[in-house]
Amino acid sequence: MGSQTGRIFRVTTFGESHGGAVGAIVEGCPAGLQLNLAEIQKDLNRRRPGQSSISTQRKEPDQLKILSGLFEGKTLGSPLCLLVENKDADPSAYAPFKEIYRPSHADFTTEAKFGLRNWQGGGRASARETVGRVAAGAIAKQVLHHVAGIEILAWVDRVGEIQAHVDSQNLKAEDTEANPVRCPDSKAAAQMEALIKSVRSEGDSIGGILRCVARNVPAGLGDPVFDKLEADLAKAMLSLPAAKGFESGLGYDSVGMRGSEHNDAFRMDGDTVVTQTNHSGGIQGGISNGMPIEFSVVFKPTATIFKAQDSVTNEGEEVLLKARGRHDPCVLPRAVPIVEAAAALVLCDHLLRQRAAQL
């Protein structure tokens, strides 16, 4: 049913946007890890709605409950059940549209797939589903840090035509969290915030690009052919709501380069093999090379807008639809912890797989 990811560090998410709760089951987390519950809650708080004037005004505390797999603060090695109750669901806002397909939403395609759909919000297609991913990803982050000192940081790199300029190698988490847009370039962030507010006042939405870096990733993660590390990262990112594009390393910018310009030449740093540049984004042949992993994710404008749009009903009647409800005019600021979590899930699974690959 598409709700599971990972081989060793395996995650299943559950719940609908306006149901009783959302969450995740995490299997394969090593036993004996002292979980920092405050860090998990911190990431959920970064993702939760209603946190600023440029996000949806749905008010959800998103308080995490761990129902199993934990004893005296340590993981038991058994499945962890992570639960977050929906406190501010308002399915009545969607009642006028239960027979209407909202443009660029999953209403029509879900009904085509299953023959029915939960019209109360977006159901499983809603970004509310990512609560489970963020909670599971926060656990994966702690495994990654404990085993290898890996750190993952994402930031808003572009909104509309406004491009930030960020030194990814010297970036700190507090730089990204310094403003509601989550862009470390303060000048660009102010312009982005103004643009998002302007778009919202027009009843419209806007998209952009997130950038992410993972530091201290050891060489050797990823498998040839179908399980290449960047292929798994791409799948994880493109499975996120509103994600429409993925670039690894320089991505599309490499099209205008020659091989002599793009190739990452090797050198020695003491006893360690490193590359002089990192155009490949830390991955070569689908396997990490020990350099920082860098990639970008493109997010489309939020599908729900407050301008009238043409649509049809499930009976084929043409109608004019004007949306209601509480929605983000730009998904990017709240997508930052979601992208970090998705990257952590992939890297944690591959790190644990790599530990079993050699004697």
- The whole-number average pLDDT for the span 183-200 is 97
Confidence class for position 54, pLDDT limits 50, 70, 90: confident
Q: What is the per-residue burial (b if ≥16 Cβ within 10 Å, else e) of 191-204?
A: bbbebbeebbeeee
Query: Strands 74-75 and 70-71, how do they pair?
Result: antiparallel
Average pLDDT over residues 236-244: 97
Residue written as tokens 């890297």?
A: 347
Long-range pairs for 104-113 at CB < 8 Å and ≥24 separation? 104/300, 104/303, 105/303, 105/304, 111/314
3-state SS class at 122: coil
**Dihedral class, residue 294 (left if φ above 0, else alpha if ψ from -120 to 50, else beta):** beta
Instruction: With CA atoms as reference, report the closest residue to 284 among 332, 230, 239, 322.
Output: 230
Query: What 3-state DSSP class applies to 341?
Result: helix
Q: What is the average pLDDT score of the chain?
A: 94
Residue 24, token pair as written in the block:
């995740």
Report the distance separating Cα 340 and Cα 214, nearest Å. Answer: 9
Quick one: tokens of 356?
């079993």
Question: CA 151 to CA 153: how far, in whole Å?
Answer: 7
Q: Is 302 exposed, middle or buried (0-12, 13-18, 19+ CB in 10 A)?
A: buried
Residue 319, Cα to own-chain centre: how many angstroms? 34
Residue 128, both tokens: 């509310």
pLDDT band with cut points at 50, 70 and 90 for residue 186: very high
What pLDDT score was predicted for residue 4? Answer: 96
Least confident of 2-16, 234-248, 272-286, 322-336: 322-336
* Amino acid letter, 228: K
Cα angle value 268/270/276 (rounded, 5°)? 30
Region of residue 13 (left: phi > 0; alpha: psi -120 to 50; beta: else): beta
pLDDT average, residue stretch 13-35? 95
pLDDT for 74? 97
Owner of token pair 């030449």: 265
pLDDT at 58 over 80: no
More confidently predicted of 117 and 346: 346
pLDDT score of 51 more than 80: no
Nearest to 312 by CA among 97, 116, 6, 56: 97
pLDDT digits (tens, 9 = 90+) for 252-274: 999 999 999 999 999 999 999 99
What phi and psi values does residue 40 have, to the nearest 5 degrees? -65, -45
**Which one has a higher pLDDT value, 75 or 323?**
75
In angstroms, the CA 53 to CA 62 distance is 18
DSSP secondary structure, 263-326, as one string: ---EEEETTEEEES--TTTTEETTEE-SSPEEEEEEEPPPS--SS-EEEEBTTS-EEEE---S-
What's the whole-number mean pLDDT along residues 5-33? 95
The predicted structure's pLDDT at residue 68: 98
Average pLDDT value for residue range 211-234: 97
- In the predicted model, is pLDDT for residue 55 greater than 80? no
Distance CA 303, CA 294 (A): 28
Segment 135-146, tens digit of pLDDT: 999 999 999 999
**Domain coordinates of the chain in residue numbers?**
4-354
Please give the pLDDT value at position 118.
87
In this predicted structure, the answer to whether residue 96 has a pLDDT above a threshold of 70 is yes
Residue 324 has pLDDT above 80, yes or no: no
Strand ranges in 160-292 using DSSP code E only, listed in sequence order: 162-163, 208-215, 243-248, 266-269, 272-275, 283-284, 287-288
pLDDT tens digits, one per residue of 145-183: 999 999 999 999 999 999 999 999 999 999 999 999 999
Nearest to 248 by CA among 196, 296, 319: 296
The overall longest dimension of the chain from CA atoms, in Å, is: 70
Find, among 131, 137, 38, the residue nearest to 348 by Cα: 137
Residue 1 has pLDDT above 70, yes or no: no
pLDDT of residue 232: 98
Taking the domain 4-354, which CATH number applies? 3.60.150.10
pTM for this entry: 0.96
